[in-house]
Amino acid sequence: MFKGSLVALITPMTKDGKLDERAFQDFVAWQVAEGTQGLIPVGTTGESPTLSHEEHQRVVELCVEAASGKVPVIAGAGSNSTAEAVALTHHAKEAGADAALIVTPYYNKPTQEGMYLHFKTIADSVDLPIVIYNIPPRSVIDMSVETMARLAKHPNIIGVKDATANLARPLHTRAACGSDFCQLSGEDHTALAFLAAGGAGCISVTANIAPRLCREMHDAWADGRVKDAMAIQDRLVPVHDAMFCETSPGPVKYAASLLGKGSDFCRLPMAPIADASRERVRAAMAGAGLLN
């Protein structure tokens, strides 16, 4: 259903911390024009933990409007409260999103059965395709392949954003969930290797600032031009490194600001990135040809 280069969108804000709606919609339009194949608003990269419910919903609405049906929108709708995740997923459907991205419940540390019941409750409540977001470094918990296979039997649960960086995982997931289960990498460094292991694409942070290059890399792979894809990968590795030299989305929002795509403001507790990190981001972008 979803494939290729997808972007975990930043949420541009003004210097006083308000949503910059015009900058966000201009950014979405630029992503579409540059070839991005899927848009993911209000994920972690979009600072969902510090958005109010009203702001969260507004960003989804703005994204759907700006995308104009040209590419799919997978709205972030996760929470460590099942009832809250149900409500956000309902809104995503009402707003016209094509799917919802639901993160494994953070902080609560549910068991595998708890995770199964959490996702099943959401999928039973809202008739919208759901992509599971498994990111142990941020959520503390790791959904097992066995639990994912149980959930894959639900008609509304159609895939996973896998941010484990474990390249054996997509092989086991494919065996357990079937080849139709949509596997998307959630880790830029492993995008090509994930494709080789049966993945369909990548939900990328780097695509915020290098959308065309990311799309070209996926196109090269799909066309069987492996050397071309690897050459782009090599070009982007320093950029991937720089995007995570501090906690995301600090570096990528600063990088986007260098391209004139909104300010580098992040809401507390995210601090402005250090001067050394700014230099690293700038150097990586220049090295990849993203800055003149």
Q: Is 99 helix (H, G, I), strand (E, B) or coil?
A: strand
In a 13 Å sphere around the CA of 44, the CA atoms on its Cβ side amount to 22
Q: Where are the beta strands (DSSP E) in the chain?
A: 4-8, 38-40, 74-76, 99-103, 130-134, 157-162, 182-185, 201-204
- List of residues 6+ apart from 226 with CB closer than 8 A: 220
Nearest residue to 64 (alpha-carbon basis) of 158, 133, 128, 18: 128
Q: DSSP secondary-structure letter at 255?
A: H
Q: DSSP secondary-structure letter at 73?
A: B
Q: What is the CA radius of gyration of the chain?
A: 18
Which of the following is catalytic: 161, 253, 254, 261?
Answer: 161
Q: Is 179 helix (H, G, I), strand (E, B) or coil?
A: coil
Which of the following is catalytic: 18, 70, 106, 133?
Answer: 133
Catalytic residue status for 15: no
Q: What's the chain's length in residues?
A: 292
Catalytic residue status for 133: yes
Nearest residue to 161 (alpha-carbon basis) of 176, 147, 182: 182
Residues annotated as catalytic are 133, 161
